[in-house]
Amino acid sequence: MKNAFTLQGGNLLAYVTAFFVVTVWGTTFVQTKVLINAGLLPEEIFLYRFVLAYLLIMPLAGKRLFLDNWRDELLAMLLGITGGSLYFVTENTALVYGYCSNVSLLVCVTPLTTALAMRWLHTDDKPGRGVLIGSCVALMGVALVVFNGNFVLKLSPLADGLAFAACICWTLYSVVMQYVQPRYPTMLIMRKVFGYGVLTILPFFISEAPHVGLLFGGGFKVWFNVLMLGCVASMLCYTLWNFVLKRLGTVRATNFIYLNPVVTMLCSWAVLDEHITWMAMLGAVLVLLGMFMAEKKRNISK
């Protein structure tokens, strides 16, 4: 137990960083909604935020253009697709054709699918049964938060399939990042992620170019949210997430994603004046309980 306590104390900065990153990412749903209401398309929002993140990280990433070999370069492209263009396209398109509650719930299956993937791959970060149980408890809490006391589950095969595809994308991103990140500087990896994310979103604008006029003429509300998404949610938080993955491991770090709906719920209540039911508050408690159970079982096993 002493070793477990020492581990927690030694990783305090990583825990605080993970909480900060997930808190920021939890607010991005509200910021994206504001931009969509202003007339911007989801793929345009992604393009602007990743271009901005790429420009910001360029001076910090050095002059090196390519990774050691073509296999690593392809993996970097895969990171840009699964953690960037394809992830955001599938998630945002699911919101267009389906129900927000379904999408939120399916995307939050990511920690569980990641834990199962790491268990199947027999890595050093292999989760035990207790971690999986805690993850399931947290997922039950997510369901209560997402539905917010209104249990009306309507199936939409296309949208639900896209939402689950987004879940698989982030799982792949987390697993591949575990392989790539120990071998290269963080800033170089993130420059690759942002760069390939931008390149692979461009085909979506073949038929119609981005409406740049909406960006430049949208006023303070549009610019503020684009800057927050690009500078903080993308450039800063993606880079900090790499630090969290290194210090906590893929499974433990990904479990923090369960907090996303809780943060979104609180942000929607504060900014959009949305109502919070006692069922949603119970769900938030279950999320925290599930995360605590997973962490406790993990530390005991060590």
Q: Where are the domains of the chain?
A: 13-301
Eight-class DSSP state of 277: -
Other CB atoms within a 10 A radius of the CB of residue 34 amount to 16
**Does the structure show a pLDDT above 50 at 192?**
yes
CA 141, CA 279: separation in Å to the nearest integer? 9
Percentage of residues of the chain with pLDDT beyond 70: 68
CA 228, CA 53: separation in Å to the nearest integer? 10
Q: What is the mean pLDDT of residues 20-46?
A: 85
CA 9, CA 286: separation in Å to the nearest integer? 24
Please state the pTM of the whole predicted model.
0.80
Q: What is the pLDDT of residues 248-279, one digit of tens each?
A: 888 788 878 777 767 766 766 666 555 566 66
Other CB atoms within a 10 A radius of the CB of residue 244 amount to 26
Give the residue from 46, 301, 83, 62 showing the smallest Cα distance to 198.
Answer: 46
Q: How far is CA 232 from CA 89, 134, 175, 235, 286, in A?
A: 20, 30, 23, 6, 29
Q: What is the pLDDT of residues 56-99, one digit of tens each?
A: 999 999 889 899 999 999 999 999 999 999 999 888 888 777 65
pLDDT at position 102 = 59
pLDDT at position 144 = 64
Query: 116-146 in b/e burial notation, b at 16+ Cβ within 10 A?
Result: bbbbeeebebebbebbbebbebbbebbbbbb
